[in-house]
Amino acid sequence: MSVTRDQIVTWLEKTAVTLDNNKQYLTDLDAAIGDADHGINMVRGFTKVMEKLPTVADKDIGNILKTVGMTLISSVGGASGPLYGTFFMRAGTAVLAKEELSNEDLHTMLQAGVEGVVQRGRAELEDKTMVDAWYPALAALKTAVDAGETTPDALQQTVAAAEQGVKATIPLKARKGRASYLGDRSMGHQDPGATSTHLILKALLEAVQEGN
């Protein structure tokens, strides 16, 4: 089973809608431990992505994702623009010229994106960042792909693992970004970056489910 270019385009469209629907939620999470702008910034970025998407929707998957990354970097302030921009640019580079993705390609794509995030943000597991959602999600996807699961089933396990990763950020003390300035006061709050990661993966699952 494979993920088509049309499903990738649908994923990006669903991400834009999902982020807009959760703008206040993400901003409220960020208000507790950050600049109170994560939801606003993510929506601004994906609004720009939706403006750009029609001009590249007929390109290969890699080019589409690289365009998303460049758009986010140029239009989003704070940490989320460079981090998510790097994610999509690295993800796109990993699948350049591909018109569809096997399950292995999908894992390769997401892994490359996450490696870009880690290099850019220097975050590790349990630093209370989006990495705390990405790492378990990637591990779950790899396990599912190796077991020969269907794409929707593999992504369901990926999303579930990301959600657990989000919940695991609540008791953590932030060690990166603005939240780290709060020290112990950052404990007891859910990380907004991990939360938006979960929402983006959930949008991918929905796009794949609808297309199969």
> How confident is residue 9, by pLDDT bands cut at 50, 70 and 90?
very high
pLDDT tens by residue, 95-120: 999 999 999 999 999 999 999 999 99
**pTM higher than 0.85, yes or no?**
yes
pLDDT at 108: 98
For 102, counting Cβ atoms within 10 Å of its Cβ (0-12 exposed, 13-18 middle, 19+ buried), the class is middle
More confident residue, 20 or 175: 20
pLDDT at 158: 98
Q: Quickly tell me which residue has 């939706």 as its tokens.
A: 50
User: In terms of DSSP H, where are the helices of the chain?
Assistant: 5-21, 23-33, 38-52, 61-75, 80-94, 103-121, 131-146, 151-168, 192-211
For 79, the 3-state DSSP assignment is: coil
> How confident is residue 181, by pLDDT bands cut at 50, 70 and 90?
low
pLDDT at 188: 80
- 3-211 CATH choice from 1.10.20.10, 3.90.950.10, 1.25.40.340, 3.30.450.20: 1.25.40.340
Q: Annotate 106-153 with DSSP letters as a single string.
A: HHHHHHHHHHHHHHHH---TTSSSTHHHHHHHHHHHHHHHHTT--HHH
Q: Is the pLDDT of residue 171 over 90?
A: no
Mean pLDDT of the chain: 93
For the chain, what are the domain ranges? 3-211
